[in-house]
Structure 1
Amino acid sequence: MRELVVVVGTRPEIIKMAPVIRAAEGTFDRYLVHTGQHYDAEMSGAFFEALDLPAPDENLEIGSGTQGEQTADGLVGVERLLLERDPAAAVALGDTNAVLSTALAASKLSTTFGHVEAGLRSFDRSMPEEVNRVVADHVADLSFAPTGQAVANLAEEGVTDGVHETGNTIVDACREHAPLAAERSAVLERFDLEGCYAAATIHRASNTDDPERLRAIMDALDGASAPVVLPAHPRTRGVLDEIGYEPSGSLRLVEPLDYLDFLKLLDAARVVVTDSGGIQEEASILEVPCLTVRPNTERPETVEAGVNELVEPGELGARLDALLTDDDAHDAMTGHPDLYGDGRAGERIVDALAAEFD
């Protein structure tokens, strides 16, 4: 049977690639590689077990480092295993350094490279993620675009061969994993959450590398009229420790959650505040209003549909309280759970890969 190398490096990649890994069973021999970009067991390792996925066949153990260090170490590691294994294809998802490393390694060898979640654009080249996704798209043999807009973005850049509109695997993942979360997670009881509360995640360098901007975001969350639960990314926690920030109001800084706990936390929240791309998608699927603390987004469908709003730190407090307390404002930002497809993206991706070799 033909071999498919699946490369992941972070928690969101594990979650979103899970439907592809499952769909590939019986069609490809799957070889799962974890680059180790999220190297803490709580950040990624436990996800495989929680999601009933096979453990990685290989962990490159790259860990933290500069953009160049992570990309270079990933490139060396992925190139080595592609040379050793000579698979039919390699796939990677999204916009991390793991994706860039895989795209570059495969493109210089005879390995077919498939980019899952191709064609997303923030049009902001100051974001490392934007550079990663653009490069990956332009060297990919197969581009698995989640939406018509993503297909159009690729066409604008001259990428038309090997493009497949598949829907987004996050829809598959939410549908597959929500029952697991409902059955296994006791996160609401653990945090004594009853009634109205907000969930939050803040981790992007554009927010954490500016201590005053991060402080303003935290102050807005801490001043909310209902509890705000923020599982703190190590980067965020590190900066907060450096500036000596301690919440004294509604904000609860907690340790990173496993995916099933966070999925249940998000699903039951009144509103979510984030700078994550994936959570913008998940919120729309679960019909939770989303406030994104960024000047731009590569998920414009959510903003156009009215279920996501881009906010600056100075606006965050007022918008958060409006959604926590005003039913009309809240209800106006719900709906549209079908923006990213019908939950069969993983199946379509594997079918397209199989057809490439048939």
Structure 2
Amino acid sequence: MRIFVAFGTRPEIIKLGPVCRALRHAGAHVDVFWSGQHTDLADGLMDLFGIDLSHGGTGVVQETSLAGKFALITQQMQSVLGSRQHDWVVVQGDTTTAAAGALTAFLNGVPLAHVEAGLRTGTLDSPFPEEFNRRLVTIASTLHFAPTARSRDNLLREGVSRDRVAVVGNTAVDALLHARSRIAVGYEPIDPEIANLPRDRKLVLATLHRRENIGKPLEDILGALRELANDGDKLILLPVHPNPDIRAQVVRALGRQPNVRLLKPLQYTDFVFLLSRSWTIVTDSGGVQEEAPSFGLPILIARESTERPEVVEAGFGKLVGSDRHAIVTEVRRLTNSDAPQLLPARNPFGDGEASRRIVERIFNASQVQHAAE
């Protein structure tokens, strides 16, 4: 079986890396297409999951418009999928690369498997453009791998056939457990700044990158972090996203602030190491909402809504939006003790076996298809 796996961002590598490993272990020939939406953010991830690239896109970072990026990625994928040699295309989540892969697979008549299917916020522009991308991928998909029962139910309400949907868990958990095993004993962080963090401060990790937060919302979130840094007992750690608009706002607000470390994009094992040492996390990222519960880490979600309501229902997450007062109050509450207030509940997004379930379902579907032919 020949399978085309497409990704272009750091979260996609993290979530599809375990799937690539499971596909190869099952005997599939895996062609990996890298669109290059993220460049520096991807450092080290290919090696971590043993991924060999078969095809690489070019020029995506230089293209400034979303429509231009979509067109360029689609064109470059077509040069590979147009040969119609592949049995399946696999994409993940809600990125421009995933949407382009879905459309290209559909137009070439190649079955599409969607990893992390069925996430919804209810409005097409939040988060932008990710919510639109998810729905586009759903329309083109043959198999929908939902991380939770709620995600499955979203798909069923939209008319997706039940026999095309499987609840498998989230592959982010697979990836995190793989990385955690790498840092379990005697791990030395790759970034010297991470290796030399003081041990007498309460670490508050922040990750901010959503387009809809750029401007006033991000200004308020950064203002909250600046206020928290002035408490003196906390150290704010913020890996700065390379988006130039976000970087400019972050540096302007926190560049000279004591008790704040603005970090380069972290290699994944360093990021997992920080999760293991943090007291809480302020984030607008979807992936972090899935990863942090494996450490029992409480999450403050700097968005007005989340397509991962399970994290809130399980008690790990709280929606604070860009409300400066709410962020300051909640971080102080979670750091007002002698030890991190970690939660004992199970991660609602899976047990680390999602990739195995995905591969089994793809192989079973192929056997049924061949038998019918």
**Is this contact kept in 2: 1:3–1:31, CA < 8 A?**
yes
CA offset digits 1:278-317 (Å, max 9, x no partner): 0011111221110010000011000111110010332211
How far apart, in 2, do the equivalents of 1:327 and 1:150 lie? Answer: 38
Letter in 2 for 1:36: G
CA-CA distance at 1:45 after TM superposition: 3.9
**Is this contact kept in 1: 2:226–2:254, CA < 8 A?**
no
Q: Label 1:52 to 1:168 Cα distance change in 2 as closer, same or farther (>3 A).
A: closer
What are the within-5 Å matches in structure 2 for residues 100-115 of structure 1?
100-115=99-114
In structure 1, the residue matched to 2:7 is 8
How far apart, in 1, do the equivalents of 2:267 and 2:225 lie? Answer: 22
Letter in 2 for 1:345: A
Letter in 1 for 2:23: A
Task: Report whether the alignment pairs 1:55 with 2:52.
Answer: yes
In structure 1, the residue matched to 2:370 is none
Task: Give TM-score, length-normalised by structure 1.
Answer: 0.92
In structure 2, the residue matched to 1:171 is 173
Q: Label 1:75 to 1:158 Cα distance change in 2 as closer, same or farther (>3 A).
A: same
CA-CA distance at 1:67 after TM superposition: 1.4
2:203 to 184, 197, 203: 197
In structure 1, the residue matched to 2:72 is 73
What are the within-5 Å matches in structure 2 for residues 139-150 of structure 1?
139-150=140-151
In structure 1, the residue matched to 2:319 is 310
Structure 1 moving runs of 4+ over 4 Å: none
Letter in 2 for 1:237: R
Which consecutive residues of structure 1, in runs of 5 or more, have no partner in the other structure?
none
| Partner SS for 1:325 | coil
CA-CA distance at 1:342 after TM superposition: 1.8
CA-CA distance at 1:66 after TM superposition: 1.6
**Is this contact kept in 1: 2:294–2:346, CA < 8 A?**
yes
**Is this contact kept in 2: 1:4–1:91, CA < 8 A?**
yes
In structure 2, the residue matched to 1:43 is 41
**Is this contact kept in 2: 1:222–1:247, CA < 8 A?**
no
Letter in 2 for 1:170: A
How far apart, in 2, do the equivalents of 1:48 and 1:244 lie? Answer: 33
How far apart, in 1, do the equivalents of 2:196 and 2:82 lie? Answer: 47
How far apart, in 2, do the equivalents of 1:185 and 1:159 lie? Answer: 47
**Is this contact kept in 1: 2:173–2:350, CA < 8 A?**
yes
| Partner SS for 2:82 | helix
Task: Report whether the alignment pairs 1:348 with 2:344.
Answer: no
CA-CA distance at 1:275 after TM superposition: 0.3
2:224 to 206, 220, 224: 220
How far apart, in 1, do the equivalents of 2:172 and 2:164 lie? Answer: 21
Task: Report whether the alignment pairs 1:137 with 2:138.
Answer: yes
In structure 2, the residue matched to 1:238 is 248
CA-CA distance at 1:85 after TM superposition: 5.4
In structure 1, the residue matched to 2:288 is 279
How far apart, in 2, do the equivalents of 1:138 and 1:326 lie? Answer: 48
Q: Label 1:80 to 1:343 Cα distance change in 2 as closer, same or farther (>3 A).
A: same
2:348 to 339, 347, 350: 339
**Is this contact kept in 2: 1:9–1:36, CA < 8 A?**
yes
Stretch of structure 1 that moved more, 142-151 or 56-65: 56-65
How far apart, in 2, do the equivalents of 1:247 and 1:305 lie? Answer: 37
Q: Label 1:147 to 1:52 Cα distance change in 2 as closer, same or farther (>3 A).
A: closer
Letter in 2 for 1:63: V
Stretch of structure 1 that moved more, 177-186 or 157-166: 177-186
CA-CA distance at 1:109 after TM superposition: 1.2
**Is this contact kept in 1: 2:183–2:273, CA < 8 A?**
yes
Letter in 1 for 2:241: H
Stretch of structure 1 that moved more, 307-316 or 185-194: 185-194
Task: Give TM-score, length-normalised by structure 2.
Answer: 0.89
Letter in 1 for 2:134: R
Stretch of structure 1 that moved more, 13-22 or 55-64: 55-64
Q: Label 1:88 to 1:146 Cα distance change in 2 as closer, same or farther (>3 A).
A: same
**Is this contact kept in 1: 2:222–2:250, CA < 8 A?**
no
CA-CA distance at 1:245 after TM superposition: 5.2
CA offset digits 1:178-232 (Å, max 9, x no partner): 121345442542333455211110111111x21x322221121122230010010
Q: Label 1:327 to 1:119 Cα distance change in 2 as closer, same or farther (>3 A).
A: farther
Let me know the Cα RMSD of the aligned residues: 1.9
CA-CA distance at 1:57 after TM superposition: 1.3
**Is this contact kept in 2: 1:86–1:111, CA < 8 A?**
no
Which consecutive residues of structure 2, in runs of 5 or more, have no partner in the other structure?
368-373
